[in-house]
Amino acid sequence: MAEPNHWRRFATLWILASAIATPLVVLLLGPIMPPGSGTVQARGHRTDHTVLLGAATPVLLLVVLYLIYAIVAFRQPKGAALEGPAIRGDARVQTTWLVVTSVLVLILAGYGTIRLEQDGAGSGGGPSPLVVPKGKKLQVQVIGQQWEFTYRWPEYGGVETPHLELPVGQTVELHVTSLDVIHSFWAYQLGVKADANPGVDNVVFVKPTKEQTFELRCSELCGIWHGAMFDHGHVVSQSAFDSWIAEQQTKYAAATKVLPPYSKTYLPEPLRRGG
Ligand SMILES: [Cu+2]
């Protein structure tokens, strides 16, 4: 019996499977990709995850289908105990593999780089980010310290609050810093993750698009109570935010008076003591 053309058979199988599976994966899994659609940045992350998943689907199918095809088509007949011919290297396969994987990785690297520069992408851009969203921005300073985050509001008399509320539909300019060790400010549902380093003003932009409760964590092991750096934040309507921040100003008026003046960074304790 003549040997079938395995190349053509497998290529047809793979192209067909990819043509069916890739759109299904993009359409069905895309909308449920993390971290959701609560902010412009989170939605951007979801788009990127969908693109990566779409690009990975044919690659996964190639590997898995080839494994299954090989098990079925190249199985030894029962009772036979033959060694196959010793084949070493195949210039065509190796070149194709190298070229295809290199091109795919470079395209995705280019895509990732471009996407990172769009509206800050929810990651910290350092003290002077390359891309700054246009329009009015609400400034909030995120201060990491062992072991909690506090929030300082320069536009509201420099009051410092233990919890975070944000108004919906407004671009927020977060200034992430730390008083002691390295922390990382992670607001999963907002699509925000930014390092909180002492002496560094790390700027990150986020625009919430719907009212929601979100989780806040520290994502950098920072000491024994690192795990306790957890809180829920809220995105609320503009009017609810206005009354919340006014309430905070009254509640913490006495504390605000003795706080150091608002600054992009604060000296960690040992430096302060050393002058
Ligand atoms: Cu921490």
Cα(179) to ligand 1 centroid in Å equals: 11
Distance set, CA 48 to CA 22, 114, 150, 181, 203 (Å) = 15, 11, 31, 32, 22
Q: What pLDDT is attached to residue 120?
A: 61
Task: Note if the pTM is more than 0.75.
Answer: yes
pLDDT digits (tens, 9 = 90+) for 185-214: 999 999 999 999 999 999 999 999 999 999
- Residue 14 in contact with residue 65, Cβ under 8 Å? yes
Cα(230) to ligand 1 centroid in Å equals: 9
Q: What pLDDT is attached to residue 273?
A: 52
Cα separation, 5 vs 271, whole angstroms: 74
Intervals of the chain under pLDDT 50: 275
Cα(268) to ligand 1 centroid in Å equals: 15
Q: What pLDDT is attached to residue 272?
A: 56
Cα(151) to ligand 1 centroid in Å equals: 14
Cα(121) to ligand 1 centroid in Å equals: 22
Cα(181) to ligand 1 centroid in Å equals: 8
* Ion ligand 1 residue ranges (Cβ < 5 Å): 183, 218, 222, 229
